[in-house]
A and B are shown apart, each in its own frame.
Chain A
Amino acid sequence: MAAPRSPEDTAAIRKGLAVGLSAAAYGVSYGALAVTAGLDVWQTCVMSLLMFTGGSQFALVGVIATGGVAAGPAAIASAAILGIRNGVYGIRVAPIIGKGRWRRFAAAWVTIDETTAVATTQPTESSQRWGFWITGLSVFVGWNVTSLVGALIGNSLGDVRAYGLDAAAAAAFLGLLWPRLRQLQTIAVAAAAAVIAIAVTPVLIPGLPVLVAGTVAIVVGAFNWFGKPGRSATHTQQTEGGDAS
């Protein structure tokens, strides 16, 4: 990595820094929503450091917001299910990272939507590596700093409903979902999942409706309903850009 940088490397580094900046910006909304849901500032920050995957963090906070600590198992399950895709990304980026136990460990920690998107869209092996690590580092630093800032802001507000923060949560999820709504299959799954989750809310304990709605993905994915033959949703997703962690 100490070798003189090519124009491709420089472009990858620029891209990584830009993605880090935008992820940092919405760390504030995560931090504020987390303390609003009932986490303290420390718990909010530990999640950003250790879990470090925005979708799962927002999900855990969202389930806790509706069901409290009693919805803990559902909150954990929601976060973990949303974390599965990072494992899939890991399979894809592992060849870019190369060998070495600690290097792979550090890489795995920051294997998320943003790093995968930037790394896999660079033209050369060297720029892929630069893109991955610079994105990982800048998103990690930015996300953690702004999570703390958001938590402190959220703590200083009184009635969060008066500020519309409960509505901000749904908008944040919509922002994570939006770039994925490109194919009929994903749109169909999204629509069905939302309807099912709302429909079963009156009869199930908080947290469970989200998990029940997740079965839509398993059924539609297994039989490839509404899908194009041979194309996987994950593959198109990860090349679409780093709009969501």
Chain B
Amino acid sequence: MTMWLIVIIASLACLALKLAGYLVPETFLERPAPSRIAGLLTVALLSALIGVQTFATGSHISVDARLPALVVAAILFAFKVPFVLVVIAAAATAALIRLAWGG
């Protein structure tokens, strides 16, 4: 599988899901379970991605400069700092720690 194939298949899948929504009757949402699961899937995947991005190095678990960077991000989001500034602050935190400790 090439990178282009991954990009095209995933893009078309996401576009198809958007279009599908316009074909489904509104009454579908009156059943609570499907829409609840759809909402929770988003939460679960985002949270799992945070975990993997913070602790995984290939198939190994390691604690490094990414963890303090995530903690900084959480504190800033709690204070409603804009998205971009938080992302920059998190990157800067990790970069400075690596600069100081040579990680």
Known A26-B84, A91-B29, A194-B47; judge A39-B77 contact (CB<8 A). Answer: no
Please, which residue of chain B has its CB at the minimum distance from the CB of A209? Answer: B52
By the criterion CB–CB under 8 Å, are B1 and A69 in contact?
A: yes
Q: How far is the CB of A28 from chain B (nearest CB, A)?
A: 7
By the criterion CB–CB under 8 Å, are B87 and A175 in contact?
A: yes
Interface size on B, residues (CB 8 A): 77
Interface of B is mostly: helix
Is A218 interfacial (CB 8 A cutoff)? yes
By the criterion CB–CB under 8 Å, are B33 and A66 in contact?
A: no
By the criterion CB–CB under 8 Å, are A164 and B95 in contact?
A: yes
Residues of chain A lying within 8 A (CB to CB) of residue B26: 91-92, 94-95
By the criterion CB–CB under 8 Å, are B44 and A189 in contact?
A: yes
Residues of chain B lying within 8 A (CB to CB) of residue A102: none
Interface of A is mostly: helix
- Show the binding face of A for B, using Cβ within 8 Å: 22, 25-26, 28-29, 38-40, 43, 46-47, 50-53, 55-56, 58-60, 62-66, 69, 72-73, 75-76, 78-92, 94-95, 97, 104-105, 107-109, 111, 161-178, 180-181, 185-186, 189-198, 201-206, 209-210, 213-214, 216-218, 220-222, 224, 227, 230-235, 237, 243
- Show the binding face of B for A, using Cβ within 8 Å: 1-15, 17-22, 24-26, 28-29, 32-33, 35-56, 58-61, 65-66, 69-70, 73-74, 77, 82-84, 86-96, 98-99
